[in-house]
Amino acid sequence: MADISIIGAGSWGTALALLLYKNGHCVTVWSIMEAEIEMLKNEREHKDKLPGVKLPSDMEFTTDLQAAVTGKDVLVLAVPSPYTRSTSHNMASYVHEGQIIVNVAKGIEENTLLTLSQIIEEEIPQAQVAVLSGPSHAEEVGRGIPTTIVVGAKKKATAEYLQNIFMNEVFRVYISPDVLGIELGAALKNVVALAAGIADGLGYGDNTKAALITRGITEIGRLGVAMGGKLETFCGLTGIGDLIVTCASMHSRNRRAGILIGQGYTMEQAMSEVKMVVEGVYSAKAAMGLAKKYDTQLPIIEQVNAILFEGQPADEAVRNLMLRDKKIENPLLPWEDED
């Protein structure tokens, strides 16, 4: 049995807390918001973000960050991506040498272009940082619906340790050393999911969705490989797998925000309506910063940025994508009439 704290009591943190508790571990859940902790203590349910998922009477809840961090075997960092740096900074003095931190949020920091694990390593250099990602809506994990996911870590022993902690009969865990590829797939798929939602909001169909998913993973893979990620990662659960579920499901806050934008809402109005952090909005500008840094074309993500931040009409963005210069789908494939 491991002693584990979940740092962040949103839908994903709450779902993972229940999963780990059912796996036999001692679980504490921390939130900075007193009202949220009081609700969890009194109701044994996150009424706002994970309704219907009941939490056990002996699960611990606290707003005391020092108590939540000190001496734990594993810390699961589940705060929204815009708060990863500040939360890590506040945790740092309580984290002991070699303590394992598993980041489960998805994003890229706009001003530094760092992934979330890189931010944690910068703020808490004494920690062992791993990531957990894949096609996994909290609403389904909380209900015990079969799910597959990937743990990424630099050391195989760390990945295997976490695999054993998280895995059960409804939550299958694979391991991978490609932490960078996992995080890039996780962050950039949220931007493509905004595009998929916008297409839905415009009334487009399955053909459009399939095009966005397949060309979207091409963009993600192109940038990811340029940055040092592995192509196999983008073809797996944390790449195409996560992209499919995020583009297709109404559980996806990014898709839901995109639908509203396609229907004429502004980005701010859509985020307010969804009532949760729409992480693709925060990753979109960072993605274009990375594209410039690595001299990589990201046409779908570029058009999403134009819609979000430049006031470009969504239907005009679609025309821009459809009327781009003619391309070969895979330039590496040879033609018979070429020498």
pLDDT of the residue at 323 = 84
Percent of the chain scoring above 90 in pLDDT: 86
Per-residue pLDDT of 63-75, as tens digits, reads: 999 999 999 999 9
- Whether pLDDT at 314 is above 80: yes
pLDDT of the residue at 339 = 60
- Give the DSSP letter of residue 285: H
User: Please, which residues have CB within 8 angstroms of residue 326's CB and are 6 or more apart in sequence?
Assistant: none
* Rounded Cα–Cα distance for residues 127 and 108 (Å): 20
- Whether pLDDT at 277 is above 80: no
CATH 1.10.1040.10 domain locations along the chain: 180-322
Please choose, from the candidates 213, 182, 194, the residue with its C-alpha nearest in 3D space to the C-alpha of residue 307: 194
The pLDDT confidence band at residue 197, using thresholds 50, 70 and 90, is very high
CATH 3.40.50.720 domain locations along the chain: 3-177
pLDDT of the residue at 54 = 95
CATH code, residues 180-322:
1.10.1040.10
Return the active site residues: 189
* Rounded Cα–Cα distance for residues 262 and 265 (Å): 7
Q: At what angle do helices 314-322 and 299-310 cross, to 10 degrees?
A: 160
- Whether pLDDT at 338 is above 80: no
The pLDDT confidence band at residue 276, using thresholds 50, 70 and 90, is confident
Question: Angle 94-95-97 (CA atoms, 0-180°, nearest 5)?
Answer: 135
pLDDT of the residue at 289 = 95
Q: Indicate the pTM of the whole model.
A: 0.93
Lookup: tokens for 59: 């699960």
User: Please, which residues have CB within 8 angstroms of residue 88's CB and are 6 or more apart in sequence?
Assistant: 77, 119, 120, 123, 124
The CATH T-level fold of domain 3-177 is Rossmann fold (3.40.50)
